[in-house]
Structure 1
């Protein structure tokens, strides 16, 4: 078995272990607050890892995250949703003015359709998460409450029964019906059959379906260790939202604007932190009262150093055989492998000097001669500048 370099660059999606290493950053603590958050950052800035650190799957099963946080540390259940995995790209390219020629504004019909798809996906994920967390003994929920929630939902939205062979009785049954409906919606958009499908969809106002399901879940589910504690919220973390069209983004903005406890969102995109905040609600754009906006590209040097140090610490710690690992707590993770103490400090110019000195390339020889010429003209570094790196401490 090959030994992996603890300092290798690895994207979360390319990790083959099944448990990529995650550091619960101070930014993650902000995301876990009650308010919705929009997160922006360039590719590779850690957006996906950040979202996964507050969602139930990794909090339940990821060894690196479990030594830092547990699900019971949060007053919400985080639900991770990678948008392109669930919504077909064809859903953004329909000619809604042709489907609804009599509508004064076909964009509103698109919003009604697209928001239903998002609500179905979110509700299905919430039902599946609650089912699994109860099986794992993390969440408490009575069988009677489960039957009641499923029955109430099907009674309130009877059109759901069209997409299942038999009436749902459990969360798993209802979640399967919701997945089937989303597949049919994606298929209809790709084949141009939206108009025939719309008559079969549950009539409702945008946000109504998700609010109905999640409100019941929030009232019935509790931490197994403290079932009578504060009500739990559900935080839906949408990843890769840069794939959305302007109308799709406007639809998400509207859902965020209409949301209230127990529902909140984290909307994550590649790009700059520029958010227009347009919604389908007249004179009610998104404001700072509705959501926060965070840019991962604006992190200062100390924050980036802390991130590098924590990642290095986790990789070094988990490169040790399990029976030889020392016991560490969550607060000790980020300082387990101190970069300054272990590697010392080094001036960038010294790194360049070493590279040029070892190189045999003609260009390197030209650079050396140019540096010697500039040095003879008095452009050398000031005497009080460090010329060599500090020696690292012995390992």
Structure 2
């Protein structure tokens, strides 16, 4: 059965995905800063986060063709994005086990967040290397993995795992991180003593584990002689996208804020929330987040022209996917003209005209028309 191109759709329930990213948001997402993405349900948070996923850019043929047509390359911005939905992890069980967080417990929680996305990052770089999106040699890969094991994977848990599992490639490293994460989850499930887990995992400062891995991966992706500053032209960076951040407790949010504050090139976070969290406080009293440390994108604060661009863009992308290139381009102005019902109701119309317009709006709402087109506003 053919679906209306105007109806509301939930990202998770769609088999294939088509993207329209408004100009304002596309520019904001390319900002070399960690991002807090805030919007009510249905405002497109998941779509925006998923649009940065390397898997979508590589494997979604429609999206790949769209980016190639617009920019010449699906990875035109040199962003390697990974996506995870926080409630699908064991974050709740970890939280119950740790209880109220102090700085030491916060560092272990931070390590768990690191383990969630580091596995995804390593796997992303491995796959993009196979598909020759990233160019480097097998010897460089082996050297990278050996260096990471020596410099970053020094805690007892890694030594124990490396005795049982060889690790010489990026795929091996991704599996190693997965095993370490599952050991930490098992410790939480068994309600192990925190002191035992702390000794086994030896968590570093907030976000330090993931930051070190990402820095080494950045050097690998950009070539051995790449400069390591955010000012580097055309250099690969990583965008770690985490959805449904509202599931974090206040203490856990402070951990995330600390990770934001201490992050560095080439690692940039983007976490989505239904409501604005505390985006200033961290676990360290004298360490706060400012506008220089992060960017906040509110999806509920759009100008009329931005909202019109968003509506038209989504409808036209859907129309193209449903009907092909011959689909008629949808334009609010060509359909309804430049009339502003707001202005008529507020100032410009006579009292009689205002009453007539208001009556039409009420009748339209009662007819179910607005619901059939996805509850789009009548006022453009």
1:16-42, Cα deviation, whole Å (9 max, x unpaired): x2x212112221321121011111111
Instruction: Measure, in 2, the Cα distance between the counterparts of 1:50 and 1:92.
Output: 28
Following superposition, the deviation at residue 257 of structure 1 comes to 0.4
Structure 1 residues 125-140: aligned runs within 5 Å: 125-140=120-135
Following superposition, the deviation at residue 86 of structure 1 comes to 2.4
Is residue 344 of structure 2 the alignment partner of residue 352 of structure 1?
no
Instruction: Measure, in 1, the Cα distance between the counterparts of 2:238 and 2:206.
Output: 18
Following superposition, the deviation at residue 356 of structure 1 comes to 6.0
Following superposition, the deviation at residue 221 of structure 1 comes to 0.7
Following superposition, the deviation at residue 135 of structure 1 comes to 1.8
Counterpart in 2 of 1:308?
Answer: 311
Q: Runs of 5+ in structure 2 lacking a partner?
A: 227-231, 342-356, 369-377
Q: Larger Cα Rg: Structure 1 or Structure 2?
A: 1
Instruction: Measure, in 1, the Cα distance between the counterparts of 2:11 and 2:366.
Output: 34
Instruction: Measure, in 2, the Cα distance between the counterparts of 1:161 and 1:303.
Output: 53
Q: Which runs of 4+ in 1 moved over 4 A?
A: 342-348, 354-358
Does the Cα contact within 8 Å between 2:167 and 2:173 map onto a contact in 1? yes
Measured on the aligned residues, the alpha-carbon RMSD in Å equals: 2.8
Structure 1 residues 67-146: aligned runs within 5 Å: 67-68=66-67, 70-94=73-97, 107-146=102-141
1:305-338, Cα deviation, whole Å (9 max, x unpaired): 21111111011111125xxx36x9xxxxxx9322
Counterpart in 2 of 1:317?
Answer: 320
Instruction: Measure, in 2, the Cα distance between the counterparts of 1:30 and 1:249.
Output: 22
Instruction: Measure, in 2, the Cα distance between the counterparts of 1:357 and 1:232.
Output: 52
Structure 1 residues 108-187: aligned runs within 5 Å: 108-156=103-151, 157-158=153-154, 159=156, 160-163=158-161, 165-187=164-186
Partner residue of 1:243 out of 244, 247, 251: 247
Q: Runs of 5+ in structure 1 lacking a partner?
A: 98-105, 329-334, 359-388, 390-395
Q: SS at 1:90's partner residue?
A: helix
1:346-380, Cα deviation, whole Å (9 max, x unpaired): 8674243356699xxxxxxxxxxxxxxxxxxxxxx
Identify if the C-alpha distance between structure 1 residues 200 and 85 changes in structure 2 by more than 3 Å, giving closer, same or farther. same
Instruction: Measure, in 2, the Cα distance between the counterparts of 1:356 and 1:293.
Output: 38
Structure scoring higher RCO (CA < 8 A, sep ≥ 6) equals 2
Q: SS at 1:39's partner residue?
A: strand
Q: SS at 1:94's partner residue?
A: helix
Does the Cα contact within 8 Å between 1:23 and 1:65 map onto a contact in 2? no
Instruction: Measure, in 1, the Cα distance between the counterparts of 2:304 and 2:145.
Output: 50
Q: SS at 1:139's partner residue?
A: coil
Identify if the C-alpha distance between structure 1 residues 265 and 351 changes in structure 2 by more than 3 Å, giving closer, same or farther. same
Following superposition, the deviation at residue 202 of structure 1 comes to 4.3
Instruction: Measure, in 1, the Cα distance between the counterparts of 2:61 and 2:329.
Output: 16
Instruction: Measure, in 2, the Cα distance between the counterparts of 1:178 and 1:209.
Output: 11
Count of aligned positions: 334
TM-score (norm 1): 0.77
TM-score (norm 2): 0.79
Following superposition, the deviation at residue 236 of structure 1 comes to 1.1
Range that drifts further, 344-353 or 124-133? 344-353
Instruction: Measure, in 2, the Cα distance between the counterparts of 1:84 and 1:274.
Output: 17
Does the Cα contact within 8 Å between 2:22 and 2:306 map onto a contact in 1? no
Following superposition, the deviation at residue 49 of structure 1 comes to 0.6
Following superposition, the deviation at residue 59 of structure 1 comes to 2.0
Identify if the C-alpha distance between structure 1 residues 354 and 281 changes in structure 2 by more than 3 Å, giving closer, same or farther. closer
